[in-house]
Structure 1
Amino acid sequence: MAQQSSSTRFEKDRKVFFLLIFGFFLYLAYKILEPFLNTIIISILLASLFYPYYTKLLVKVKGRKTIASLLTSFLMVFLIVVPAIVFTTALVEQGVKSVSEVQTWIKEGNLQKIEKTPTFSKIKELGKKHLRFLDIDKLDIQGTLLKATKNFGQYLLSKGAGLLSNVAGFVMRFFIMIFLLYYLLRDGPDMLTKIKYLSPLRPEQEDRIFERIKAVSKSALLGTFVTAIAQGVAGGIGLAISGIPGFFWGAMMGFASLIPVVGTAIIWIPACVYLLIVGKSNWAIFLAIWCIVIVGSLDNFLRPFLMKGEAQMSPFFVFLAIIGGIQVFGLIGIIYGPLILGICAVFIYLYQVEYAEMLGDED
């Protein structure tokens, strides 16, 4: 009996020792991969999004996985990476230029000229009537605008300089991402099978989690960003037609579309007010109609279409997930926030299924 007890204890100690060693090397592996963790996660999400294209190419190249994976990786580069680099570079350049033009316009005394117009006087009177908590007469509009544009310009320059100084790091991560994407597309199903084998969860639970990750990355993220891009492009066209720099402010409109309730209105309403003040009332009316009908319809029809299905998330929760994600993870939180919230929703669902009887008894 004592020998059996000693044997059981030895077996238990051996398992604990194995788990400690295993945990130690897992920690070391994590520290080695930590600098590339964001790249790995983005590669996994991209592989999930582009896998349907990979399967179609696989049929066309007669089952040659290497060729299909290479072609899909190149497709991703031309559809996402190249446009993103061009857009970011142009955005910083146009942003600095727009800020400089606004500062020059203010310093030339154009703001004082506008303040003397009847339209501005009417807007000022409306402000006094409805915004009584503000002493509008004492507001230093010119000083405030100059300070705001200066700070914004410095922010854009610092971000642009940061991007340029980190070119080597970006190039390295870019090639790692392409390398990972290639192998994830080619060997993804085998990797997934091994992960499922190691998981203690039931097969149906595993399938549910992986389906949710795919659904969130495809529907919620795609719906959010494609809608933002579409609204930014449409808004930029309307602004350019109205005589306002379309590229930069269209991009700002795209970012603003992520904000619930107010959305793109935070950009186009001030633009319309500006056009009214400078005497371009016809263009102000045109821009308002354009943004309400064209830009607004994209939010009302395109977003629900792209986010349809079981991965559909409330715009309010998407917004909270994006803002919270940015606060915790930085800019990459735009992706992590909705993804984590979506996976959390799956575990809540699995909990409801697993403990349905107990939850029902308590009711």
Structure 2
Amino acid sequence: MASKMKIETRHWTLIVALLIAFYACYTLIEPYVGSIVLAFIVSLLFAPLHGKIKTLLPNKSNLAAALSCLLLTVIIIIPLIVVFAAILNQGLKFFSDSYAWFSSGGAEIILNSPQVTYAINLVNSLPIEPITAQEIAQKAASTLSKFSGQMLSFSSKFVGDITGMFVNFLLMLFVLFFLLRDHAKIIQTLRHVIPLSRSQEDTLLEEVEKVAKSAVLGSFLTALAQGLVGGFAMWLAGFPGLFWGTMMAFASFIPVVGTALIWLPSAIYLLLIGQWEWGIFLIAWGALVVGSVDNILRPLLMQGNSGMNTLLIFFSLIGGLHVFGLMGLIYGPIVFSVTLVLFHMYEIEFHQFLDKQDNS
């Protein structure tokens, strides 16, 4: 009995020491967790193409992994940098032109419209401090000027942060190289150290892989699709399509309001300046086409989330955004899905006890 107690004490001591060591290691790599997780997700998405490269280069795992990383850089990252630079340039030009238009009397066209005049009179009839069209114009011009300054500051900051982004990208590529090269060894090690049965390990690892892929596809491809169709409509209506399409893609991550944050004010602006046909077109396109992309494409792409219904997916996304930022769109669904899988394992493992409790 004493021997058994000593063994159990030794085991628990080892486990506690290991947990402390793991936490210490985490504190060391915590600033780089985003790059590591991103490398893990990219390795899952890039696995089929890397598998073909490995087939062409048998027994040359280092070269195959290096070529995969190089191919990823060439076909994704470089075009992305070029497009992002074009987006910044288009955004700066748009806000500069808008401020010039506003300052040269464009604001009066909107403020003198019957709709705005009626709205101002309605507001002034309330027991609050009255406002005038001139005050609104001054505040709007000031806001637009500040926003233009913020865009300029952001572009300068972006240029200044290129070095940091480049370092993070190199770190991601470095991790990706080893994840691609040593994928089989990493999975084998995980299977060995996880104290679960082989079937439970398979279920858990498959779920993490499936959910990570579906979270990327569900969130980022939906955002890309909404940005494309929304940007196309904005371009038809006379706005800079590339810039506002990108803004729609980012806005699609915002719960509830989503892309309406972009296309609705644009449509109202068109209605106020008398372009009724384009204003109505933007409202119809935003509500029917852009909204349909989110309602149809996201659930279709995220169907790999282990029994997660729409409510759980919604809370996993907004909760992930709140806690982890943009990467929470991946972390949130993974946390929820793994929890559901573990709960299902619990039900199977303790089914006799649970059935006995139900019948007692």
Same fold (TM over 0.5): yes
Q: SS in structure 2 opposite 1:138?
A: coil
- Paired residue for 1:66, among 62, 65, 69? 62
C-alpha change, 1:356 and 1:101, in structure 2 (3 Å) is farther
Does the CA contact (< 8 Å) of 2:306 and 2:341 recur in 1?
no
The percentage of counterpart residues that share the same residue type is 34
Residue 133 of structure 1: CA displacement?
8.3
Q: How far has the Cα of 1:196 moved from its partner?
A: 1.3
Q: What's 1:85 paired with?
A: 81
Shift, 1:40, TM fit: 1.2
Q: Tell me, what secondary structure is at the counterpart of 1:344?
A: helix
Deviation at 1:178, TM superposition (A): 1.2
Deviations 1:155-212 (A, max 9, x none): 4445444443333332222222112212211211211111110111222222222112
Which of 89, 94, 98 pairs up with 1:98? Answer: 94
Name the SS of the counterpart of 2:196 in structure 1.
coil
Q: In 1, distance between residues paired with 2:250 and 2:307?
A: 20
Distance across 2 between alignment mates of 1:326 and 1:156: 23
Q: Summarize deviations over 1:275-321 as a string: whole Å, max 9, x none.
A: 12112222223333443454334234333332234447556554543
Q: Conserved in 2, the CA contact under 8 Å of 1:46 and 1:181?
A: yes
Aligned pairs for 1:1-363 within 5 A = 5=2, 18=14, 22-23=18-19, 25-62=21-58, 64-121=60-117, 124=119, 128=122, 138=131, 140-311=135-306, 317-363=312-358
Shift of 1:243: 0.7
CA distance in 1, matches of 2:5, 2:341: 39
More off after superposition, 156-165 vs 101-110: 156-165
Q: What SS is found at the alignment partner of 1:201?
A: coil
For structure 1, which segment, 218-227 or 164-173, has the greater mean C-alpha deviation from structure 2 after superposition? Answer: 164-173
Alpha-carbon distance in 2 for matches of 1:38, 1:134: 52
* CA apart distance, 1:22: 4.5
Structure 1 regions of 5+ residues with no counterpart?
none
Residue 225 (structure 1) shift: 0.9
Quote the Cα distance in structure 1 between the aligned partners of 2:7 and 2:153. 59
Q: TM (normalized to structure 1)?
A: 0.81
Secondary structure at the counterpart of residue 100 of structure 1: helix
Q: Which moved more, 1:330-339 or 1:173-182?
A: 330-339
SS at match of 2:182: helix
Using structure 2 for the length normalisation, give the TM-score: 0.82
Q: Pairwise CA RMSD of aligned residues?
A: 3.5
Counterpart CA distance in 1 for 2:258 and 2:84 is 21
Question: How much does 1:247 deviate?
Answer: 1.8
Deviations 1:8-44 (A, max 9, x none): 7776676566556645544443333233222111111
Name the CA distance, whole Å, in 2 between partners of 1:213 and 1:283.
Answer: 45
- The amino acid across from 1:33 in the alignment is I
How big is the shift at 1:220? 2.5
Whether the aligned pair in 2 keeps the contact of 1:249 and 1:267 (CA below 8 Å) is yes
Ranges in structure 2 where 5+ consecutive residues have no aligned partner: none
Residues of 1 paired with 2:4 and 2:99: CA distance? 79
Of the structure 1 ranges 345-354 and 146-155, higher mean CA displacement relative to structure 2 is found in 146-155
Letter in structure 1 aligned against 2:33:
L
Report the AA paired with residue 50 of structure 1: F
Determine the C-alpha separation between the residues in 2 that align with 1:40 and 1:90: 29
Cα gap change, 1:62/1:150 in structure 2, threshold over 3 Å: closer, same or farther? same
1:70 CA drift (Å) = 2.7
